[in-house]
Structure 1
């Protein structure tokens, strides 16, 4: 009873993924699927410094804020 439903579900899942890959992939261009531009190396470096720097600095800034509260 569950076998036909399983086959249909499996086929539907494969079709959805195949269509997604076909319609959204432009193929072979490095960095095309990233949510940021990698062509400007200085802007990319600034983004990485800000992104990782904010994560590493957050605990220290939170601790400082807590210690300075009255």
Structure 2
């Protein structure tokens, strides 16, 4: 005959919480770092491209104006 004691309930709660936390963490770790990484890369690329294009454009204009003048 099976009797439900507090020890058995703690075991069931512990197993449930461990399964829940493992599923939650696997979903959390697969979604949120990719979001943060995409935001970081978009900001980094926008800053990098703005600096790169401004430098390249200034060099191009200085060479073009010196040759055409």
**TM-score w.r.t. structure 1 length?**
0.36
Structure (1 or 2) with the larger CA radius of gyration:
2
When you count helix as a share of all residues, which structure comes out higher?
Answer: 2
Higher relative contact order, structure no. (Cα contacts within 8 Å, ≥ 6 residues apart): 1
